[in-house]
A = this chain, B = another copy of it.
Amino acid sequence: MVAVGSGVPRLRWTTTTGGTLRDVRAATIVDNRLAVAAHPDPQPGAGEVLVRVHGAGINGADLLQVRGLYPAPPGSPQDIPGMELAGEVVALGRSATRFRAGDRVMAVVGGGGQAELAVVHERLLMRVPDGVDWAQAGGFPETFTTAHDALFTQASLRMGERVLIHGAAGGVGIAGVELAHLAGAHVCASVRSQRLRPDVARLGANLVIAPDEFTTHGPFDVILELVGAPNLAGNLEALALCGRIVVIGIGAGARAEIDLGVLMGKRGLLMASTLRARSLEEKAVCARRIEAEVLPALADGRLSVPIAATYSLEDVQGAYDRFAAGDKLGKVVLEVVPALP
């Protein structure tokens, strides 16, 4: 838990269970593929915490980053993917006071989560509720924070409102369905895979539909767009008066025609966002909101984190292949077991 061996250029961290990590292994992007490679130990700076990672979910942005299409923001490792992690605190940087060694924590991070050790600013960390295992905790932060921010902070979804979630069987989609249901909204979920529709209904969707039929089920007060521009015209058509469209996924395309006259008539809002490029303080505000509004429901079981599959760090390429193949319900999570000396 403290640095060992003065004069040694690289720090060594003793885990709470007594072992020492010497070479930190991390998922590493090499030629648009993934391998496991040794990296210098990350060192917590002021206000930062060193976390021994136990679970780290895979997200769409990781896939884009591996393919060279989405560079990590400044300050995050460029070659170690991973936008979320869960693990235990093993060391504190200067002036870090929120946690103690051994605390179970999780966070959205700018990158570098898929490794044995990661440095995270303490303001981004959330406590993992008792009873939530490492796979669930490692697969929770990114999708639930993204969905919560889009539905509630941005679109101000309220109980009784009708929400349409496009791409509802994906990671953010599932989180959106669960959160909107929990908040008392009426949830319509658009899901391409017929096979997965009953699962999405079980997670809280009042109505699960095929992607091409959503305009007949409106009007919707809030539309969470996780697919892209091809839905825009239909979204405008299906939007309720004073409705809000939130775009946070554009995998199917970014450009579309928009009729501003229709938007005026609906008095509508079209908003779009990403989480990753935000400042530390903005991300910290998101974390505080999740702690206050969402973690109680994760703790008592009203929210679940469906896990499609877990993989060891060594099989990171297999995990990404599984993630990219789609047609799954729930997260693909790396379970990181430390190689003790």
Q: Which of B255, B267, B274 contacts A272 (CB 8 A)?
A: B267
CA of A171 to CA of B69, assembled, Å = 46
Which of A38-46, A257-265, A296-304, A326-334 contacts the other chain? A257-265
Task: Decide yes or no whether A60 CB sits under 8 A from chain B.
Answer: no
Whether A259 contacts B267 by the Cβ 8 Å rule is: no
Task: Decide yes or no whether A247 CB sits under 8 A from chain B.
Answer: yes
Q: Which of B247, B257, B267 contacts A274 (CB 8 A)?
A: B267
B residues within 8 A CB of A256? 257-258, 260
A154 vs chain B, min Cβ distance (A): 9
A272 vs chain B, min Cβ distance (A): 4
Task: Type the 1/0 row for A210-251, where 1 means its CB is closer than 8 Å to any CB of B.
Answer: 000000000000000000110010000000000000011010
Q: Which of B254, B259, B263, B278 contacts A270 (CB 8 A)?
A: B263
CA of A254 to CA of B261, assembled, Å = 5
Task: Decide yes or no whether A271 CB sits under 8 A from chain B.
Answer: yes
Question: Would A270 and B273 be within 8 Å (CB), given that A232-B260, A264-B247 are in contact?
Answer: no
CA of A250 to CA of B277, assembled, Å = 33
Task: Decide yes or no whether A81 CB sits under 8 A from chain B.
Answer: no
Task: Decide yes or no whether A269 CB sits under 8 A from chain B.
Answer: yes
Q: A255: nearest residue on chain B (CB-CB)?
A: B259
B residues within 8 A CB of A204? none
CA of A274 to CA of B264, assembled, Å = 6
Whether A255 contacts B257 by the Cβ 8 Å rule is: yes
Question: Would A250 and B264 be within 8 Å (CB), given that A255-B257, A256-B257, A258-B255 are in contact?
Answer: yes
B residues within 8 A CB of A259? 254-255
Q: A229: nearest residue on chain B (CB-CB)?
A: B260
Task: Decide yes or no whether A268 CB sits under 8 A from chain B.
Answer: yes
B residues within 8 A CB of A232? 258, 260
Question: Would A260 and B264 be within 8 Å (CB), given that A270-B270, A271-B270 are in contact?
Answer: no
B residues within 8 A CB of A264? 247-248, 250, 272-274
B residues within 8 A CB of A261? 250, 254-255
CA of A265 to CA of B247, assembled, Å = 11
CA of A269 to CA of B154, assembled, Å = 10
B residues within 8 A CB of A268? 271-272
Q: A264: nearest residue on chain B (CB-CB)?
A: B272
30 A–B contacts from the bound complex (CB under 8 Å)? A228-B260, A229-B260, A232-B260, A247-B260, A248-B264, A250-B260, A254-B262, A255-B258, A255-B259, A255-B260, A255-B261, A256-B257, A256-B260, A257-B258, A258-B258, A260-B272, A263-B271, A263-B272, A264-B272, A264-B273, A264-B274, A265-B274, A266-B272, A267-B272, A267-B273, A267-B274, A267-B277, A267-B278, A268-B272, A270-B270
**Which 8 interchain pairs have the tightest Cβ spacing?**
A254-B261, A263-B272, A264-B272, A270-B270, A267-B273, A269-B271, A258-B258, A254-B260
